[in-house]
Structure 1
């Protein structure tokens, strides 16, 4: 067992030298991006997305807090294991639209205070940091 640990130590140290290649490495970790539109239409609810640490996503959907792992290298975007609280509110239809769109996104673009998530099918979500 000691030989295995000794053999794996250089790999562990080498992986620590590589920067975060997910979107988390390309945004300000304290920034919170607010959704302003989905597919060109203004979003009438309140929803946010943030990247608090490498490979992690967290935010507020119209009703519930959520979190997930961001598993693709930038500029690709892929969420895995989306979890959310389960509170009911009058905006559950907006929350459903938000999560459906978020799960469809496959590309990310960060420019200044704007984050655009999109996919090859033409869907798009535009967020602005506040």
Structure 2
């Protein structure tokens, strides 16, 4: 009986350890809309969608974009970013969004909110519909 009690205690304690295995992930197939960039409400439309293959795509203020995530949650590294090349009045906003997105290094999912951040304290906050 002592052995079973000891195993139960170990199992309970093990369940309290933070999971770094990557089992918590950004949901695939959910299109998140950017609502805040560096603490300010985002004036424009930008989205991000994570695919099952590690790909990322979305709508920036002017163009569609795509890329590849090359790290495991909660780390975030976006590589190979490409975009269509359409002109629009919001190109400066789009350039700021792309620069911020490519500079993010961490991801956090909490409920319907996805927050991307970096060590400099910059953030992109997205909300699922």
TM-score by length of 2: 0.80
Q: Residue 82 of structure 2 aligns with which residue? A: 83
Q: Residue 92 of structure 2 aligns with which residue? A: 93
Residues 1-130 of structure 1 mapped to structure 2, 5 A cutoff:
21=22, 26-130=25-129
CA deviations on 1:11-35 (whole Å, 9 max, x unpaired) are xxxxxxxxxx59xx72332210000
Taking the aligned partners of 1:107 and 1:97, their CA distance within structure 2 comes to: 18
Taking the aligned partners of 1:103 and 1:28, their CA distance within structure 2 comes to: 20
Q: Residue 15 of structure 2 aligns with which residue? A: none
Taking the aligned partners of 2:28 and 2:106, their CA distance within structure 1 comes to: 19
Alignment root-mean-square deviation, CA: 1.7
Q: SS at the partner of 1:26?
A: coil
C-alpha contact 2:114 2:125 (8 A) present in aligned 1: yes
Instruction: Show structure 2 runs of 5+ residues with no match.
Output: 1-21
TM-score by length of 1: 0.79
Q: Residue 4 of structure 1 aligns with which residue? A: none
How far did 1:125 drift? 0.5
Taking the aligned partners of 2:73 and 2:66, their CA distance within structure 1 comes to: 19
Q: SS at the partner of 2:66?
A: strand
